[in-house]
Amino acid sequence: MRGLKVVGIIAGITIVGCIAFFSVKEYVNSKEDPSYVLNYIKEHKDDKTASLIVKRNGEILTSLNENEKLPLASMSKIVIAIEYAKQVAEGKVRKDEQISLKELEKYYVKNTDGGAHPVWLDDVKARGLVNNGQTSLEEVVKGMIQYSSNANASYLLDKLGTARVNESLKELGLNSHEEFYPAYTAALYMRGYVEKEMHIPQNKALDKLRNMSNDEYVKHVWQIHEWMKDEKEWGKREISLKADMDSQRI
């Protein structure tokens, strides 16, 4: 029975993922030139913004950046959803557990997710799924997958345990994927953080970030993450949000 529960939950996640896939497919198909994707890859092959492997009968015909670690953006949220499914099946969390929207708000960074989080909130409220300022854990997960809410993803990393999500990476055989940390939200403040907390001049902040080791970078992101969860402490810090593309590419 437990296995069936896992299959059922993961199937639901997969369906939502398929919806997202076909939305992208529809967008690509709307282009007049059917070679739109191929042309994009050709034009940006040196930018390391795309990866491609073409196989036929097990033989690799062509490849591009196949061994490069590239930002997967919201695709990585599927791993969080899988860990959620496992924990529901194991009885570690309940899908009907009520989660405070005010708690989720601590993880929300305004105007950085394309309106995903506010649109999700409007949806759950319109469907009558919010009671006394709370909604179910299951709806929080759906908001992360279906709407790509970064706030929900960051909350779920805390709720499920980042260490457990990273274990899921190994169990799934995703050994080339970097370990999870609060990259969805807290990392957006890193440029402002190095300027305010590390006293780095604005014109040198990006260089400071680029020259940081991964361990040091992640350590500072975790510090920001902890401050964000404490409204009083976060208010005192007054760290500017500088989530420009140069910062996000680091």
Residue 117's CATH number:
3.40.710.10
**Distant-in-sequence, close-in-space partners of 139: CB < 8 Å, separation ≥ 6:** 124, 129
Per DSSP, the three-state class of 206 is helix
Q: Could you give the number of structural domains in the chain? A: 2
Quick check: is 32 in a domain? no
What is the rounded CA–CA span in Å between residue 135 and residue 94? 12
Q: What pLDDT was estimated at residue 60?
A: 82
In terms of domains, do 81 and 166 share one?
yes
Interacting residues of 30 by C-beta distance below 8 A, sequence separation 6+: none
Last residue in a domain, options 171, 203, 232: 171
Question: Is residue 17, in this structure, part of any structural domain at all?
Answer: no
Q: What is the pTM of this model?
A: 0.75
Residues 190, 166 within the same domain: no
**Tens-binned pLDDT, residue by residue, of the chain (250 aa):** 333 344 444 444 444 444 444 444 444 455 556 576 777 777 777 776 677 777 788 888 787 776 665 555 567 899 999 999 999 999 999 999 999 999 999 999 999 999 999 999 999 999 999 999 999 999 999 999 999 999 999 999 999 999 999 999 888 887 777 899 999 999 999 999 999 999 999 999 999 999 999 999 999 999 999 999 999 999 999 999 987 766 666 6
Residue 73, pLDDT score: 57
Same domain? 80 vs 150: yes
pLDDT score recorded for residue 52: 73
Structure confidence at residue 4 (pLDDT): 36
Residue 50 resides in a domain: no
d(CA 43, CA 46): 8
Q: Are residues 163 and 102 in the same domain?
A: yes
Strand partners, 52: 64
DSSP H helices, the chain, are 2-29, 36-43, 77-89, 101-105, 116-126, 137-146, 150-160, 162-171, 190-196, 205-211, 214-229, 231-237, 245-248
Last residue of a domain, one of 137, 171, 205: 171
Q: Are 141 and 152 in contact (CB under 8 A)?
A: yes
User: Which among 111, 136, 171 is the end of a domain?
Assistant: 171
Within a domain: 165: yes
Q: What is the DSSP string of 79-145?
A: HHHHHHHHHHHTTSS-TT-EEEHHHHHTT--TTSSTTHHHHHHHHHHHTT--BTTEEEHHHHHHHHH
| In-domain check, residue 40 | no
Residues 203 and 148 in one domain: no
For residue 210, is it within any domain?
yes
